[in-house]
A and B are shown apart, each in its own frame.
Chain A
Amino acid sequence: MSRLSDVLESLTEAEIVTGELRRLGEIDPVDLSIPVNLKAVQRRRSDLERELRSILSFQQLDLIRYRVEQFDGSDPPAAAIARSIDLFQTLVTAVFDAVRLGPKHIHQPSFENQQLSALRFAHAPSAGEAIHFTIPNDRLLALESEFDITFDMVFELFAARGKTLIRSLAARAGIASVTAARTWAENSVQHGLSTTITWRRRDEAPRTVSFPHTEALLFRTAIDAVADDSVTARSEEGELAAIDEVARTFRLVLADGTRISGEIEDGFPSGARWTTRRWYLAELLRAERISYGTGARDVRWSLRGLSPLG
C-alpha cells in the first residue's frame, strides 16, 4: 500500500471517528475526555491533510474524490457506481481531447489522449466510502496546464443550466463533451444517485461539486433543451431518382453519390414534366438540427426547383 493510499484511508477513518466523538459529546456534554480526544483526532486530520498536499505536490498529482450515494442513503448497486465512474471518465477524456485538439461533435478521442486523461485508483474503496483517483498533472509555473483547463471546464459544465452557457461551453469543449455530461447525468437519474466530486490540485483549496439526483435531472433536462438549428440554400447537380408531386416527396442522387430525399416546397412549379434518371440542377434547402443531448445530427432536405442539365 502506498503512503498516499495510507493517508487517504487514515483521513477517511479520522472523519468517521470525528463524527462518532461528536455524537458522544452531544450525549454527555460535560464529559472531559471527549473534547480532548476530538481535538486530537481533528489535529491528526489536519496533519494528514498537510501530508496529503505534500505527497500530491511532490508526485505532481491531482486528486479526485468521487462519492456516490443512493438518494435514500443506501448503498447503490455496484454496476451503477461503475457506470457512473466510466461515464465520468468519458466526460473528462472528451473535454481533455477538446482542450488539446479542439472541440468535437462526436466523441472520438485519440488513443494518446485517452491514456493521458485516464484516472487511476489512489486507494481501493470499500462499501460506502468515497473513491479516490489520481491523475498526473504536470505543473507549469505561469500557465494553467491542460488538466487545469480540463477540470475547470468540467466543473463549469456541471454548473451550467442555461442554454446560452451550455452553448458557450460546447463551443470550447465540443458538443461531444456536453453529450457525455448528459449521459453521465442520465445514469444518476436512472439509478437515483447523488454524486459529490472534489478536485484537489497542488496545494490549493479543493473544489467540490455536489450533484443530488434531482439536480442531475435538471441538468439532463437543460441539456436536452439545447439544439442548434440552421437552414442553408444549396444548388446541387444530381440525378432525379423519384418525384411524387401528389405526396410531395423527391429523391435525388447527387454527383458525389450521396442519396438525399425530402419534401417538395410549396413554391415548387407544379404540372411540369420531370423525367427520372435525368440530371438536373436542384435548388434545395438543407435544414440541420444538432441535438446537444444525444449529439445526433438531423438533416432534412426540401426541393425548391429543378433545371434540366445539358
Chain B
Amino acid sequence: MNAVSMVASLTSRLGINSRLWVSGTFLTEEENPDDCTIMLVLANDVLRGLDEEQREFFDWFGDVSLYDKYGCYNYAVVLDAERPEHERLGRFWFRQFGFHAETRRSGVAELATVATTP
C-alpha cells in the first residue's frame, strides 16, 4: 500500500500524464497481502514530452526494484496503440497480470494521473 501511495502521489505531484496498473493479492480480500505489482504506463508522446525532473523519476522507477523494500514488483513501460509493438507488449503484460489464454480471469486496478495546469 505504501508503495502504491508513494508512486501515485509522486506522479501526481510531478504532473505526469500516466496510468498506474496495480495487481496482486493486494487487490483481494486476503489479510496482509504479500505481493503486488505496480506498472507505470506512459503513452509515447508523454514520454517524449517529459521534462528533466519527470524523466528522472520515470527512469528511477524503471531502474530501481521496490521488491526488497515494499514487496512490490514495479515496471515502467510505454504502451501506445499507435506503436507497432503495442499489441505484442500489451498481450505480454496482461499475461503477467494473470490474464491467460481466455481461460483465466484476473483483475487490475488502474489509477489515472492527469496533469493539471495551475
Residues on A lying within 8 angstroms of B by beta carbon are 1, 6, 9-10, 13-14, 17, 20-21, 24, 32-34, 36-37, 39-41, 43-44, 47, 50
Contact = CB atoms under 8 A, between A and B. Distances in A.
A14 B93 CA distance: 10
Contacts, number: 53
Contacts of B31: none
B80 interface: yes
Contacts of A21: 85
Contacts of B62: 36, 39-40, 43
A9 B104 CA distance: 15
B92 A33 contact: no
B73 A33 contact: no
A44 B96 contact: yes
A40 B76 contact: yes
11 contacts: A10-B95, A13-B92, A13-B95, A20-B85, A32-B78, A36-B62, A39-B62, A39-B63, A39-B76, A40-B75, A47-B67
Contacts of B65: 43, 47
Given A17-B89, A20-B85, A33 B47 contact: yes
Contacts of A37: 77-78, 85, 89
Contacts of B78: 32-33, 36-37
Contacts of A10: 95-96
Contacts of A24: 84-85
A36 B63 CA distance: 10
Interface string B50-79: 000000000000110101000001011110
B80 A17 contact: no
A17 B85 CA distance: 10
Interface in B6-42: none
B83 interface: yes
B22 to A, nearest CB: 16
Given A21-B85, A39-B62, A47 B73 contact: yes
Interface in B76-111: 76-78, 80, 83-85, 88-89, 92, 95-96, 100
